[in-house]
Amino acid sequence: MKIRIEQKSDYNNTYEFVAKITSDTDRALFIEKLKANPCFDKNLSALCERDGKVLAYALMMPVYSELNKLKGVYLSSVRVSSDVAGQGIGVKLIKYLISNAVKLGYKYILAVGNNEYYTKLGFGVCKNEDIVPPFSGVPKNNFLAYEVDGFSLAELLGKIIYPKEYLDIRW
């Protein structure tokens, strides 16, 4: 198994993988729209493969605070094939992207998901009331944050600006 940065030549395979895993072409199309956004950073889109077959995929998208423009990322998608679920591939993929985000200078990582799962990766429940998820209906303890190297979310001023594609989410 190999974890690596997604290349443009992988896009069709990634699209097919996400559409199959989610049984939802809308989610796969959403990811394609994110990758077309000018703020997309190819170093934050990774996959795990074996023998040329995609087993897992994850994507982080750059975000920033409105007033002081502090850069972070939002963990937009993590998908793991049911064939390899429970084998730690999702964790390895997320750790790989966290490492890339830190190397690129991002100060924080936001995510929506199972808080028990993400706390094992160093995330905590986002307690800064000014920071909200990119879409409504998320329970408070499922909106999580990872603070990089002593950075505190209290340093963020203003709301978080997410890529415009999040304004159109309908699922």
Q: Which helix (H) or strand (E) holds 16?
A: helix 11-22
CATH superfamily of 2-168: Gcn5-related N-acetyltransferase (GNAT) (3.40.630.30)
User: Residue 105 carries which DSSP code?
Assistant: T
pLDDT of 25 reads: 86
* pLDDT above 90 coverage of the chain, percent: 68
Neighbours of 64 (CB within 10 A): 19
Beta-ladder partners of 29: none
Query: Can you tell me the distance from the alpha carbon of 59 to that of 50, in angstroms, rounded to the nearest whole number?
Result: 19
Question: Which position has the token pair 């896009």?
Answer: 11
Question: Which position has the token pair 């064939």?
Answer: 83
Q: How confident is the model at residue 51 (pLDDT cuts 50, 70, 90)?
A: very high
Q: Say if residues 48 and 27 touch (Cβ distance below 8 Å).
A: no
Report domain extents, the chain: 2-168
Query: Can you tell me the distance from the alpha carbon of 170 to that of 27, in angstroms, rounded to the nearest whole number?
Result: 10
Question: Which position has the token pair 């001023």?
Answer: 157
Q: Say if residues 107 and 148 touch (Cβ distance below 8 Å).
A: yes
pLDDT digits (tens, 9 = 90+) for 93-106: 999 999 999 999 99
pLDDT digits (tens, 9 = 90+) for 124-171: 999 888 888 888 888 989 999 999 988 988 888 888 999 999 887 654
